Structure 1
Amino acid sequence: MRQNHHDGTKRWARWEGASLPTNVRPPILADGRHSSGLAGCKGGGHGDPKAAFAKAPTFSPDTDFRARVAAEKFHLCRTTREKGRMGPSKSSNTAPSTLQVHRTSDLRRLLADRPTWGRLACGVPFRDPRWLAPWWDSFSESAEAYALVASDERCVIRGVLPLYRRSNHGYRDLNFVGDGAACSDYVSIACRPQDSTAVAQAMAAYLMDVRDDPDHGWDGVEIDGIAESDETMRSFAQALLVGGAAVHAHSRQSTWLSARRATWEDHLRSMAKTTRRKVRRFGEQIDGAGGLTKRVAETENQVDAFLDELIDLHQRRWRAEGVAGSYHDSRMVTFIHSVAQAFFLSQRLYLPTLWKGDRMVSAELHMIGDDRRLYCYSSGYDIDSSHLQPGRVLLSDTLRELYRRDWTGIDFLRGDEIYKRRMAATPQRIVCLRVFSPSAAGRIRFETWSAGFNAKQWLRRRLGIPPLSVVGMCETGTPSR
């Protein structure tokens, strides 16, 4: 179970047949230069960034944060000088040499262009307008949209980074649309894999250029929910570091993927013997002597009704543990209902429920990615029926459903509950990226924050609590999926 513990002057040209207002800053090319318009721009830099970072330094979790930043920054600046300017790597799928980055505050209009998002989001629900638009409608109070759009010389959008800006104790902070209570995972720049490095570096160049601008400036960036293997965000972090910003990444939890095997029997064999025996037994209880029946939401009305029941089960369980629960905020309830309906209408929702007579005893909420993967966002079970183990019964059936419907796996998302490992799921660390502007205010804030972070790490060790894992986002990683 998942417990979520200005526009100034407008300037824009054609955007795949539509006009879109943006802000006054001139676009930034992929090589970091200004452009006065959308046409007649020369290409950016070259070189292979993977080669440049192939020998990046590694550190232990105990290494002082500021020492890490200094060493990584020295290494990246040196290798950039040796290898040449960072730019798209030479390959058969070479990214465009010229990219122009604009900021827009008209996020709703941007999210309305579903074909562009369908081309760029790589099928991940948390990068999809069906997720982002309801979040913006529910949680954007006092927030200012700050979406970055990267376009090529033909005005085709190659990448989008949906951020928003808020004032935080006098600092101007940029955050990812979908953060906070919604607890989005696999957040990233929306772009095609072959464009990822060029888009990430162009967006980083834009941010570094406008950091002190009175209308578009920023003091900090915080993006939570990044997969450690995300090469796009790794390139983004590297480029910001080379540009002079302080970059830090840490991980509290992992996502857990139980991938489909060749057969159901192979899946069972991947589990421990005791777990395998229990899963078999749980699967026999549906429509058996135990009197448990399964129902899947098949209409819009059922989606709303089943989801209300799931939320009630979820809240009752966590309140019994003395925890507020994921849905204690009414905005969260409104948000998840909007998301569920949007994914249901596009046949991308799986909402199974388990019943004992006329009483729901367990429910799960899954979004289905374009890769046919189930993303298990939320679940709940009836604590008064815990002797039936309804949560485990339904989960065992959902695993079996992978093989009935040809789904590719179940992603349990973030949270390190023991049942995920028992279900033969494999972890991937989820990362929170912090960036501090090289401005005077940013430097002061970085020094204060890093001292506090190191003090908390020391205190965790003294209390016997595992410290947060410091992640080297400025080192070469594996390609994102």
Structure 2
Amino acid sequence: MAFKVETLSFSQWAAAWAEPAGADPGAACLFQSPAYLSLWLDTMGRARRTEPVFVRVDTTDGRRVMLLPLGVERRHGLKTLTFLDGGVVDYAGPVRLGPAAGEIDWEGAQALWAALRAALPAFDIADLDKMPAEIEGTPNPLRWLATASQPSGWALPLEGAYDDYQRGLNPYAVDSRRKRRRLQDLGPVSFEIAREPLVARQFYDAMVEQKTRRYLETAGKDYFQTPGWSAYFSQVAAREDFGRQVHLSALKVGDRIVATHLGMISGDTFYWLMPTYEAGPVAKLSPGRLLMEELIGWCYGAGIRSFDFGHGDEDYKARMGGRRRSLLRLVRGDSLAGRAALKVARSKPARAVQDFYWSKLYRPPKPA
């Protein structure tokens, strides 16, 4: 199989997204949609000085293979080819796959990579991570090139009724009822969704305060100081399509916000993205988990079919009924400097440092 690779402007790429392909556009991942990428480029992309590279791949006989939203940015002095992420994206990969994508075998993947390298701007290292093994019901054509597995993605299929889920699948249901009663001793408990800008701003400010504290506790770093993060999350929360694509909610005791969540909706999937909760004695009553259960119940009522817990292998995701989604990572050196850097990074001393960092210094917080 031979390939034709084109680099497009963002507007051309967005138009190609809208063309008929092997699956409906709504089935593609939220994080690679033109609307989302426009926001990402204006915030994260600008702050990170990412050079976006929008790619279309067809076979030489004119059949659609895929679209790729890529970028080149400097990491440790090396030009790195990556998806448009910067730490705020749960899933990435090719999108709008055509039928030809499913025909690519190992040999075809090597030819595909050669065609991509020839068409893309120069880079030292390719680091394409968080890729689902299957996209839009079609095997990911880059899976043959993946060199490592990522932490998994997890999603809860919303089948049957919420009451059935609480009785049969949620192992925390009894404990949650007990803690909710204790929370009610402090004041009336309410679940609220931001539906107008003033409320959204209140919830957002509480979210930043609570999440900053949690980042400092678990990682010793305020990630909202990472270039682009504050502008990105602020613009997401400020969108006026509350309850449709952007979803900002809170659990309150009286007028006190004890937990918040900033998520997104795409098609029939709800994405659990940025949960926070208040510190102190109230944290022992698991307000973050109570808010998650409220959101799952809301999704059942809204006709949402999947509650996506996102990227990461925290225990609670499987315990709450989540199903694992395999994710892949492609890492390749494309220059002498890039190959040398990867060789050093893969050495035993370097791996030991990385293992220590991830196991000791950063522990992803569980919902309280």
The TM-score range, normalised by the shorter chain, is 0.7 to 0.9
Query: Does 1:185 pair with 2:84?
Result: no
Q: Deviations over 1:82-123 (max 9, x none)?
A: xxxxxxxxxxxxxxxxxx32112x335634777349954624
Unaligned runs of at least 5 residues, structure 1: 1-29, 33-99, 242-246, 467-481
- Tell me if structure 2 keeps the 8 A contact 1:258–1:424: yes
Q: How far 1:392 moved relative to its partner?
A: 2.0
Identity across matched positions, percent: 19
| 1:208 pairs with 2:114 | yes
State the AA in 2 paired with 1:31.
A
Write the distance in 1 (CA, Å) between the matches of 2:14 and 2:253.
41
Matched, 1:314 2:211: yes
**How far off its partner does 1:393 sit?**
1.8
- Report Cα offsets for 1:266-314 as digits up to 9, x if no partner: 32344475x2312344566788984112211112443333222212221
Counterparts of 1:240-389 in structure 2 under 5 Å?
248-251=147-150, 253-271=151-169, 275-281=172-178, 290-321=187-218, 323-329=220-226, 331-342=228-239, 344=241, 347-370=244-267, 372-384=268-280, 385-389=282-286
Partner residue, 1:244: none
Aligned counterparts, 1:115-264, within 5 A: 115-116=18-19, 119-120=24-25, 122-141=27-46, 142-150=49-57, 159-168=66-75, 171-177=78-84, 179-182=85-88, 184-192=89-97, 194-197=99-102, 205=111, 207-209=113-115, 211=117, 216-230=121-135, 234-238=140-144, 248-251=147-150, 253-264=151-162
Looking at structure 2, the residues matched to 397 and 342 of structure 1 have their Cα atoms a distance apart, in angstroms, of: 22
Name the counterpart of 2:292.
395
Give the AA of the match of 2:342: W
Equivalent residue in structure 2 for 1:452, among 317, 337, 345: 345
Amino acid at match of 1:383: A
TM-score (norm 1): 0.62
Give distance in 2, aligned partners of 1:203 and 1:149: 15
Q: CA deviation at 1:391?
A: 1.3
The answer as to whether partners of 1:377 and 1:412 remain within 8 angstroms in 2 is yes
Kindly tell me: are residues 261 and 232 of structure 1, through their superposed partners in 2, closer, same or farther at Cα, counting changes over 3 Å?
closer
Structure 1 position 162, deviation (Å): 0.9
* TM-aligned CA deviation for residue 423 of structure 1: 1.9
Match of 2:365 in 1: none
Where do residues 51-130 of structure 1 align in structure 2 (5 Å cutoff)? Answer: 100-104=4-8, 106-107=9-10, 110-111=13-14, 115-116=18-19, 119-120=24-25, 122-130=27-35
**2-side partners of 1:306 and 1:286: how far apart?**
19
The alpha-carbon distance between structure 1 residues 359 and 210, as it changes in their structure 2 partners (threshold 3 A), is closer
Change (3 A) 1:111 1:461: closer
- Name the CA shift for 1:414/1:302 in 2 (closer, same or farther; >3 Å): same
Aligned residues: 352
RMSD: 3.9
Q: 1:160, 1:149 → 2: CA distance?
A: 5
SS of 2:225's equivalent in the other structure is coil
CA shift, 1:449, in A, is 1.7
Q: Report the alpha carbon displacement of residue 208 of structure 1 after superposing the two structures with TM.
A: 1.6
Distance in structure 2 (CA, Å) of the matches to 1:135 and 1:114: 17
Q: Conserved in 2, the CA contact under 8 Å of 1:295 and 1:353?
A: yes
Bigger fraction of residues in strand: 2
**Which one-letter code corresponds to 2:29 in the other structure?**
V
Of the structure 1 ranges 116-125 and 149-158, higher mean CA displacement relative to structure 2 is found in 149-158
Structure with more of its chain in helix, by fraction: 2
CA deviation after TM superposition for structure 1 residue 375, in Å: 0.5
Instruction: Verify the 8 A CA contact 1:160 1:190 in the aligned structure 2.
Output: yes
Residue 18 of structure 2 aligns to a residue in which SS?
helix
SS of the equivalent of 1:298 reads coil
Q: What does residue range 17-36 of structure 1 map to in structure 2 within 5 Å? A: 31-32=2-3
Return the offset for 1:378. Answer: 0.3
The whole-number CA distance in structure 2 between the counterparts of 1:248 and 1:152 is: 25
Retained in 2: the 8 A contact 1:375–1:412? yes
Give the letter aligned to residue 197 of structure 1. Answer: G
Name the amino acid aligned to 1:236: L
Give the 3 Å change call, closer, same or farther, for CA 294–452 of structure 1 in structure 2.
closer
Greater C-alpha Rg? 1
Partner of 1:405: 302
